[in-house]
Amino acid sequence: MDHQEPELRKELDATLQTRKDLGSEYESELVDSFIEKLDHKVDSVVDKRVRRQLAEQQMAIARGSTQTEGPVISGLGATFGLAVLSLILAIPLSAIAVVNAGLPGLATAWMGIVGVNAVYSIGRVSWTRRQKEHGETDW
């Protein structure tokens, strides 16, 4: 866990201490509660990043950038970001799927994760191909 997130660290410590005090019969509720807090933190970080990217895009448009069409997020950084976000979200999704539906649930969750990444990659390849056909570049 990152040392820059003291609130999340305190929550994890409190959850672990509560688990020791209450025993294993409340484990799933404690894990669900912590995952909910973690999801909220991830959502807030993603929201900040999206707002920052939108502001940067609006500033680029205001400066007279001619490239206003196409994907809002592009480049290797966006692909890497999607992959990292998918892996981060895969942890709680996998846990929830296994608890609720067992192995079929886990397989379904991972097919969804892989599907999202595949659709993004296919769309990106298609977009790049169209740009090359029309003589446009990302530069």
Could you read off the pLDDT of 29-57 as tens digits, one per residue? 888 888 888 888 888 888 888 888 888 88
Q: Are 68 and 61 in contact (CB under 8 A)?
A: yes
> Structure pTM?
0.41
Closest CA to 74 of 135, 134, 130, 113: 130
* CB neighbourhood size of 101 (10 A): 13
- What number is the average pLDDT over the span 51-65? 81
pLDDT at residue 68, as a whole number: 44
CA angle 48, 62, 79 (to 5 degrees): 45
